[in-house]
Structure 1
């Protein structure tokens, strides 16, 4: 019975949202390898990069999301329940790409299947006082997900170190490449998140996460809290790469990408 309950728990993935040519192969590999093909509803947790939103955590009340592959409808009954503890703020999504970048992969993989979504957003700039807000939202959402009969998956998104002239972050050593520099920043953080036998305290992840230029720290923290509330003990790194290792476009600016699941 315990094993059956574990199987009914949502799949949780943390994936990139960078350019398709750079981070797309990591996203596709994670979805095809770990996302159930019979999923009913996907909770997408995006990153807000700008400062246009009034809320650190927000949900979208759009009825559908459109890509060149078609429309993805929103689970309105579930959204109405989410709106009771997460405010609606379209400004958090108006200039964003982190949720939309996941949709073509999902539409391709789930082609012919009936599925819907809910879009959440967490601001990338997380202050200490925001940790309580994130914890409360995760508690309410995890309790809600325990009551739904549909098969649910959680897909959150973050990129990691952004380095190069455009980002204003460069290696201090002149003999260190941008790619090696990014790895030197990202891998200790990912090791900290994934190596322990149990998920680390959220405040420690927040503290270390602020030392690298990851854009989705807020989405990562919300996902970590959800994973704990849903009985997950460990984060597993599926794949890591710097963008130039996937598609070398000769750019001076590069980003670190990773995919993780929670077990």
Structure 2
């Protein structure tokens, strides 16, 4: 008889980037893996619109978040205004503003090419989205690592946003401590199985501030090489995190689930 485990939530997935047939198959398989729901993050307006349709199609599973991902060209002022208004008109259907943040990897690519990125422009976009979240008392889902996380923390404090989820976080000790002191959440992906930096972070971050994610369809290495990223992989996150925290798998799953439910409700 198959064991019954505590349910899990994929706290960060780009569901809109999967093909329709794959999504349908994925949805049918979720009960088998005890996956309760998916926090579906958005990249831009068209991504938001597709996630809205998926929410309408799968209302018992999809929990949408709308935002503008920083690892892409800046929107012009009209694009940003249109996006903000679109989100505001649907503020009651979302669980968070996201994915939002700062373009760490885009900046590294620009530096490698000998170019300079408009960092102030990205800060202004992030500020506008944080102000929207603050006004409507919505959590935010952040893409902000290393030095960008410090800027994000400054802005969170400036605009009074207290519910922040730093997904797939990497950062410096002082930043980690600052985030812990403010009660910001982080989430681990399947790379917790093979990345030493992530495993070290998992030993430090308080249990009550941790969630599991896949960031699908991003693909992983190690035992996941060649596999399509599926929300069931949150179980692998729970297994590895349980070992690091010296918990049973059931205890780990229960904590990860309850942390996510508490944050997003």
TM-score strictly above 0.5: no
Q: TM-score, normalised by structure 1?
A: 0.29
Q: TM-score, normalised by structure 2?
A: 0.29
Q: For CA contacts below 8 A with separation 6 or more, give which structure has more relative contact order.
A: 1
